[in-house]
Amino acid sequence: MTRPRRESARKAHFSPITWLLLLGIVGYLLAGLYYVDQNQIAVLTRFGRIIDSNVMPGLHYALPWPIDRRTKIPVKQVETLVIDDFAGEYEENSAPARFEQLTGLKPYCITGDNNIVTIALLIKYTVINPVDYLYGTKSSEEMMSNLVASIIIRNLAALGVDEVLTFGKKRIENDVKIQLQRQLDSLNSGIGVSFVEIKEINPPKTVQQDFDDVVNAQVDKRKVVNVAQSYANEVISYARSKANLIVAEAESYSNEKVLAAEGDASRFLSRLEEYKKAPAINRTKYYLDFIQEIYPQLVEIRVIDPDREGGLVINLSSR
């Protein structure tokens, strides 16, 4: 009688309920296995307390819920946020509301010279700190939208509409990226801004044609100024080369005359020294040399006689 009781006890110990319970426990423990993709980082918490903030890609194990909780964050994935509304909510009888009723457009941004422009920005960002990203802010995109709206409104308020619509876009993009990243870091958001681009920035459609005319006129003005500047550079270059040539010729002529004068002066001084050695002889010699040089050029010689009218005339034309 004893042996059958033991066998029945063993059968009762391995009843279906027990097997189900064992399988449930095993399944519960196996539920702790999880896999982190290559572009992800997981944060592991136990009863709400962070025990591992940097779970690398691969197969891992954690105690099943509700003990441990793992949150996977795509740290290498680039997220995109488009921001195109900077007016926000406003009261029914406010000036922006009346403007919208009249034109059908919302006054998104106002430039420094009191012009209205519509603008759309493309923000690309990545998660650089998973813990700050999870627990620093509740709504990252909403926070970034508010920050970008504040930054862009301040920047456009300091610029004229012509600069905003033309050559000032790159400056606005750089300023927004730098200021946005600085504010995100101060808020411990765990977000890194990688790219900011102005997709569209235009005046309201009702005055778009007028703004286009102004921009085209400015482009034409720059073309005319560039052509005039090119012509001025060409003329100035020619005038400078001509002036340099004239100056060079003048300097050459001046040097030639100075050298000739210095040579004549040197010869005169040499003859003067010779003259001082024998004045009477040299005077006669110089006189005869002069007469010999000038005589072939004479046509007639007039000798003035105070006692005779007309004097004496010697005609040399027949020689």
Domains of the chain, residue spans? 17-73, 79-203, 207-277, 281-315
- pLDDT score at 90: 47
CATH class of 79-203: alpha beta
* 3-state secondary structure at position 314: strand
Query: How far is it, in rounded angstroms, from Cα 87 to Cα 150?
Result: 10
**In which band, very low, low, confident or very high, does the pLDDT at 305 lie, cut at 50, 70 and 90?**
low
- pLDDT score at 43: 75
Peptide bond just before 296 cis, omega within 30 deg: no
**Among 175, 180, 173, 172, which Cα is nearest to 143's?**
180
**Among 99, 206, 115, which Cα is nearest to 164's?**
115
**What is the rounded average pLDDT of the residues 273-299?**
81
Query: How far is it, in rounded angstroms, from Cα 139 to Cα 150?
Result: 17
Position 87 pLDDT exceeds 60 = no
Structure-model confidence comparison of residues 148 and 210, the more confident one: 148
- The CA-CA-CA angle for residues 185, 187, 190, to 5°, reads 55
pLDDT more than 70, % of the chain: 79
**What is the rounded average pLDDT of the residues 275-298?**
81
Position 1 pLDDT exceeds 70 = no
Query: How far is it, in rounded angstroms, from Cα 266 to Cα 165?
Result: 77
Query: How far is it, in rounded angstroms, from Cα 178 to Cα 69?
Result: 35
Position 5 pLDDT exceeds 70 = no
Q: C-alpha 295: how far from its chain's center?
A: 86
HSE (side-chain half, CA atoms, 13 Å) at 284 = 3
Cα→Cα distances 170→113, 136, 186, 204, 247, Å: 19, 31, 25, 21, 49
22-36, 133-147, 235-249, range with greatest mean pLDDT = 235-249
Residue in the block written with tokens 């409104």? 153
DSSP structure class, residue 207: G
Give the pair of three-digit tokens for residue 137: 């802010």
Reported as a single tens digit per residue, the pLDDT across 116-129 is 788 888 999 888 88
E runs forming strands in the chain: 33-36, 41-46, 49-55, 58-61, 68-73, 79-83, 109-110, 116-127, 191-202, 300-303, 312-315
